[in-house]
């Protein structure tokens, strides 16, 4: 447990959390929407500090990041809780269940920021990924770890829904190297209905990350009948092109009802739906569009945007690089890789 880094004390021992854009007003002895921040006698505490609920050594491509340290491993970890309530969540056991069962806050392995960085270095991971749940809700734990990682030469990666406040952005930007942000839809009503959030701050934060020169990749989960419409996907593609740049990678992921939290009655995303979304991205003149998690599909390969040459071949999380130090092996075009 640690006192929150970003909140305001109000009258009658009430507080307002300033960590994410939910900006919860929290009464004494009550929790914020994320389920892990509690007002204790007029002070706001992050109860998930130092409690790892999940950790693993993952390929960086799993985040997914295809242009940031390709072919390397990343030390990944999370705490319980989330500031969204997405019905499609595949990690709902650790992100959502805490909201109805506070005993989960006692779960997890005790870990210090120092030991996380040590574990990353011991396992030859050049980066640490704050992932699985939403890193914004374990800001204090993440930020303390990020500062040590930066001193030790280890990169910091956030896999995030992008719903953090300017106050949180100001804290993390000096230490953040890369991020994958979900843009779940181009419709604000989607966010309000299915996530308990809003679209505007997420788009603004994507632009801020690019302006701060944090490496950024975007992921969109294509959910049949909910976020698979041509208008929705075309609008996201054009936002990436116009506001983030044509060389910002866009990952299109398939929805699976079997592992989702609440959307068990929806059909799974088909390969044809992912390919249709892929074509919309290419029609919008995005250089790097990736058709994700479709087994055996070549849509996850990296091709030169100038000459079309294959430069990285991906089969699952196994990759074969043909590029020459980040340049196309055929024409020499820079491929927008962060290699160190």
Q: Give domain limits for the chain.
A: 2-46, 51-300, 301-340
Q: How many other CB atoms sit within 10 Å of the CB of residue 232?
A: 21
CA 88 from chain centre, in angstroms, equals: 15
pLDDT score of 93: 80
Digitized pLDDT (tens) for each residue of the chain, 340 residues in all: 999 999 999 999 999 999 999 999 999 999 999 999 999 999 999 999 999 999 999 999 999 999 999 999 999 999 998 999 888 888 778 888 776 556 556 678 999 999 999 999 999 999 999 999 999 999 999 999 999 999 999 999 999 999 999 999 999 999 999 999 999 999 999 999 999 999 999 999 999 999 999 999 999 999 998 999 999 999 999 999 999 999 999 999 999 877 777 778 889 999 999 999 999 999 999 999 999 888 667 799 999 999 999 999 999 889 999 999 999 999 999 999 999 9
**pTM, whole model, 2 decimals?**
0.96
Residue 106 has a pLDDT of: 67
Contact 19, 138 (CB under 8 A): no
Strand order in the sheet with 178-182: 54-59, 73-78, 127-130, 155-160, 178-182, 215-222, 250-254, 289-291
Distances (CA, A) of 91 to 133, 274, 307, 315: 7, 22, 39, 24
Q: What pLDDT is attached to residue 320?
A: 96
Q: What is the CATH number of domain 51-300?
A: 3.20.20.70
Give residue 99's pLDDT. 65
CA distance 53 to 94: 7
95 vs 73: CA distance, rounded Å = 24
Distance CA 152, CA 296 (A): 38
> pLDDT value at position 261?
77
- Asked if 31 and 102 count as a contact pair (C-beta separation under 8 A), the reply is yes
The 8 Å CB, 24+ separation contacts for 59-63 are 59/317, 60/127, 60/129, 60/157, 61/314, 61/317, 61/319, 62/317, 63/129, 63/131, 63/157, 63/159, 63/180
Identify the burial level of 56 via C-beta atoms within 10 angstroms of its C-beta, where 0-12 means exposed, 13-18 middle and 19 or more buried: middle
**DSSP strands (E only) in the chain:** 2-3, 7-9, 15-17, 25-26, 37-40, 43-46, 51-52, 54-59, 73-78, 109-110, 127-130, 155-160, 178-182, 215-222, 250-254, 289-291, 302-303, 310-315, 318-321
């Amino acid at each position: 447990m640690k006192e929150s880094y970003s909140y305001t004390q109000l009258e009658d021992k009430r507080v307002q959390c300033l960590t994410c854009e939910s900006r919860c007003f929290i009464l004494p002895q009550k929790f914020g929407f994320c389920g892990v921040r509690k007002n204790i006698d007029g002070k706001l505490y992050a109860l998930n500090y130092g409690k790892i609920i999940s950790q693993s050594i993952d390929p960086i491509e799993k985040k997914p990041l295809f242009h940031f340290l390709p072919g390397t491993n990343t030390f990944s970890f999370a705490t319980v809780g989330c500031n969204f309530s997405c019905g499609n969540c595949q990690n709902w056991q650790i992100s959502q269940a805490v909201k109805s069962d506070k005993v989960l806050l006692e779960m997890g392995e005790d870990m210090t920021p120092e030991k996380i960085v040590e574990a990353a270095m011991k396992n030859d991971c050049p980066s640490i990924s704050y992932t699985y749940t939403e890193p914004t809700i374990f800001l204090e734990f993440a930020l303390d770890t990020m500062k040590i990682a930066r001193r030790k030469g280890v990169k910091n990666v956030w896999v995030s829904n992008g719903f953090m406040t300017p106050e949180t952005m100001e804290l993390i930007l000096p230490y953040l190297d890369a991020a994958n942000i979900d843009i779940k839809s181009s419709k604000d009503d989607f966010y309000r209905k299915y996530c308990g959030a809003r679209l505007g701050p997420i788009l603004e934060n994507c632009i801020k990350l690019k302006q701060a020169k944090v490496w950024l990749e975007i992921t969109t989960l294509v959910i049949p009948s909910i976020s698979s419409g041509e208008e929705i996907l075309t609008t996201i593609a054009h936002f990436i092109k116009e506001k983030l740049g044509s060389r910002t990678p866009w990952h299109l992921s398939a929805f699976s009802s079997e592992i989702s939290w609440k959307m068990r009655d929806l059909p799974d995303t088909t390969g044809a739906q992912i390919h249709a979304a892929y074509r919309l991205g290419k029609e919008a003149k995005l250089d790097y569009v990736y058709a994700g998690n479709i087994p055996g599909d070549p849509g996850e390969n990296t091709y030169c945007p100038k000459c079309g040459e294959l430069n990285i071949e991906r089969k699952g999380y196994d990759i074969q690089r043909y590029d020459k130090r980040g340049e196309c092996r055929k024409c020499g075009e820079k491929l927008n890789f962060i290699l160190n």
